Structure 1
Amino acid sequence: MIFVDYAGSVFPFVAHSPWHGVRLADFVTPFFLFIAGISLSLVYKKTSNKLRATQQAVLRALELFLLGILLQGGYFHGVNSLSFGIDVEKIRWSGILQRIAVGYVVAAVCEIWLSNTPRNAGHVGVFFRNYFLHWIVLVSLSGIYLGLLYGLYVPDWQFEVQQANLSDFYKNSTYIIKKVTCGVRGDLGPACNSAGMIDRYVLGIEHLYKKSAYRNLKVCQNTDGGGFSDNLPSWCQAPFDPEGILGSFMTAVTCILGLQYGHILVQLEVIP
């Protein structure tokens, strides 16, 4: 990801896609989550104490979640920053490590509590029946995700933008309010999708990622020079978290899919 962050401006095909489409960097997290699911099938291949195993899984996920807040919550600033510490009113609660933690703990609980025995049955029908509850969880999470994504009504909303005024740099910052017109349902664009609305209501708009990738869309590029102008869509400056709440549903789904592939590997290992 260091290569993506620093080489993405030189090689656009390496960087994250601004919105629609997929690029090289967009494959990293899904494959990592899939591999994490595979590892769970190996770690919990034999679980004698389910309660103890659950405690360990929750503890690992909690440690990863807290590490994500520490690294991506705003504690560390650039070398040229004039401010230090953290503003709890603007701390970023979500991030890639937090998302991995959510997917990990959901898949781990499925493996520990929802796997039937015997696990080494050679018949294909018996094999899938052992993990039938896993597929119920997977389909349920996918259904909830699609229902919220396409079913929620997104009203108009607004956000504050710090005004670029050098005279106020050392004084109280001034802000301007920008409004985004929506009033739609099932929109998949950057401005009016339900994923962003859920994060704004639950996490708070001040706790979302301030430099979203959709700022690199052509519609958000200022042809007159750097920075933003009033001619650009207002949502180009709006915060949006790519690792938000709704996306965590599919994170868990990806981990569970990897878990099922891990079951196949374990099955091939035990079949003579």
Structure 2
Amino acid sequence: MTTSTTQAAHEATGTAPLAEPKEGVSQASQPGRLISLDVFRGLTVAAMILVNNPGDWGHIYAPLKHAAWHGCTPTDLIFPFFLFIVGVSIVYALDGARRQPEAHAPAMLRILKRSAILFGLGLLGALYPKFEFETVRIPGVLARISWVFLVCGVLFLKTTWRQQLGLLAFVLVLYNVLLQVVPVPGFGAANLEPGTNFGAWLDRLVFTENHLWKQSRTWDPEGLLGTLPAVGTGLLGMLTGQWLRRKDVEPATKVVWLFVNAGLLLVLGLIWNSWFPINKSLWTSSYVLYTGGLAMAALATLYWLCDVQNWRGFWTKPALVYGVNAITVFFLSAIVSKTLNLIKVGDVTLRVWLYNTFFTPYFSPINASLAGAIVCVLIWLGVLWVMYKKGVIIKV
């Protein structure tokens, strides 16, 4: 990871350097300028920090929990939103290289390097602080982001939008068949149950139980097979990004058709849910369409507000601050949380001591837990704000 100035920062976050629009041309028509994407990314990562850092895991409001299995809560939207954003960002980061065949090879090397760094950071976070390689979790959030970025980046360089749309449909149907038709070795008929579905069997075969999610050991919510439909989420983002970069379409028309397609995705997702249930842990095809529709609608709204209407008041600044250092804050927040659990204050960890000292005496248990999470988000906002003011962006 390296630090750079603001211009290089936007390359790292998937947007072109910001420049003043030409006289007489609306900012929304400038294909390299998409403030809404950074705002969307920032809001998504801030939400990720919120749900990952409750004061007390035993007391959490229902919307801040993942669905037990089938179903979708607001928390279940965060990760697919981020992968959707990855797809949009790829378009803005690689469109120039895509148009120049001689630039494809260097671009692929950059994609591979960034994917390797993301995967390595995921392993480092899983290893810290004990560094027990024999039991380290190999799948994970950063690992899935790295694979989606790698596959989608290469596909963007080498395929057309029509081919990407066809691949999206193929991937979603194939995944449905694999989970609901193909028998599971050792268990019999295809099923969607934790630990006995085809994806869980494949994870145990490839990674072994020692390297899967510690809460289950028999399956992993970011498992290998589930990365296939997760690439579909990235493809939806790529298709959206290519639509937004169209120079021959008016911004208002772009927004209208984004909402139309978002509604269509939601309807198709809910229909598919009737036999292939919406499920984050399995990343089912219905989940891809449902969350993709919501992500598309959210980005369309922000695009209209930030890039077309230029409503960029104080409300966008915190999101922008989070958005330009998204991976940094996600990784460091996990490291800091683990570090606080290493330090002892009497008979408890520093994290527990801080929580019991500043939150539990003043709130009900569930509100104390929420307050702890909100303060965590605000502390990181302060750190990121200083970095933003100094033009420091950690380029991953």
Asked if Structure 1 and Structure 2 have the same fold, meaning a TM-score greater than 0.5 normalized by the shorter chain, the answer is yes
Deviation at 1:206, TM superposition (A): 1.2
The residue type equivalent to 1:44 in the other structure is L
2:191 to 182, 187, 192: 187
Provide the aligned length of Structure 1 versus Structure 2: 196
Deviation at 1:142, TM superposition (A): 2.0
**Matches of 2:116 and 2:162, distance apart in 1:** 28
The answer as to 2:254 corresponding to 1:208 is no
**Matches of 2:64 and 2:149, distance apart in 1:** 27
The answer as to 2:128 corresponding to 1:75 is yes
Aligned to 1:38: 88
**Matches of 2:53 and 2:114, distance apart in 1:** 30
The residue type equivalent to 2:117 in the other structure is E
The answer as to 2:184 corresponding to 1:154 is yes
Aligned to 1:85: 131
**Closer/same/farther in 2, CA of residues 69 and 136 from structure 1, 3 Å limit:** same
**Closer/same/farther in 2, CA of residues 46 and 19 from structure 1, 3 Å limit:** same
The answer as to 2:200 corresponding to 1:196 is yes
Deviation at 1:271, TM superposition (A): 4.3
**Matches of 1:155 and 1:260, distance apart in 2:** 36
1:242 to 221, 234, 237: 221
Q: Deviations over 1:38-62 (max 9, x none)?
A: 1111112221311111111111111
**Matches of 1:107 and 1:85, distance apart in 2:** 31
| Contact 1:96–1:243 under 8 Å retained in 2 | yes
SS of the equivalent of 1:107 reads helix
| Contact 1:210–1:240 under 8 Å retained in 2 | no
SS of the equivalent of 1:153 reads coil
Q: Deviations over 1:50-75 (max 9, x none)?
A: 11111111111111011111112x33
| Bigger helix fraction | 2
The answer as to 2:166 corresponding to 1:106 is no
Structure 2: which 5+ residue stretches go unaligned?
1-47, 251-396
Q: What is the aligned-residue identity percentage? A: 30
**Matches of 2:218 and 2:49, distance apart in 1:** 22
The residue type equivalent to 1:85 in the other structure is F
The answer as to 2:249 corresponding to 1:251 is no
Aligned to 1:266: 245
1:58 to 94, 106, 112: 112
Q: What TM-score do you get using the length of structure 2 for normalisation? A: 0.47
Q: Map 1:210-225 to 2 at 5 A.
A: 210-212=214-216
Q: What TM-score do you get using the length of structure 1 for normalisation? A: 0.67
**Closer/same/farther in 2, CA of residues 85 and 65 from structure 1, 3 Å limit:** closer
SS of the equivalent of 2:96 reads coil
**Matches of 1:250 and 1:42, distance apart in 2:** 22
Structure 1: which 5+ residue stretches go unaligned?
77-83, 116-130, 157-182, 213-237
Residue range with higher mean Cα deviation, 241-250 or 142-151? 142-151
1:135 to 165, 178, 183: 165
SS of the equivalent of 1:185 reads coil
SS of the equivalent of 2:95 reads coil
SS of the equivalent of 1:38 reads helix
The residue type equivalent to 2:76 in the other structure is D
Runs of 4+ in 1 over 4 A off after TM superposition: none
**Matches of 2:249 and 2:178, distance apart in 1:** 42
